[in-house]
Amino acid sequence: MFGVGLPEIGVILLVAAVILGPDRLPDYARQAGQMIRTLRRIMKSTQDDLLADLGPEFNELELSDLDPRALIRKHILESPEDSPDARA
């Protein structure tokens, strides 16, 4: 997750404990957790609204299929017999 490992998280928590103090740290952690839950709820709501607005034909849309690198790779590796132009 963002290249942050366990040692980095430990250092961040240690610095936060020193700056905020051990008595205020649980309150800030609770607020951070609530903020993350709220952001996740907003993100999920936005996704649901977008899918509802786009209609059922976009339910199975995979964004990875629209990646230009994947499209180029697919067409380079595809044999000429498999292409739609070769069948016509």
Answer yes or no: is pLDDT of 31 > 90.
Answer: yes
Q: How confident is the model at residue 80 (pLDDT cuts 50, 70, 90)?
A: low
Query: Across residues 5-33, what is the average pLDDT?
Result: 87
Q: Could you tell me which of 60, 32, 18 has the C-alpha nearest to residue 10?
A: 18
Flag whether 61 is in a domain. yes
Is residue 55 in a domain? yes
On whether residue 59 sits in a domain, the answer given is yes
Count of domains forming the chain: 1
Give the domain range for residue 17.
6-87
Give a yes or no: residue 60 inside a domain.
yes
Has residue 24 been placed in a domain? yes
**In this structure, is residue 35 part of a structural domain?**
yes
* Domain annotation covers residue 1: no
Cα separation, 28 vs 38, in Å, equals 15
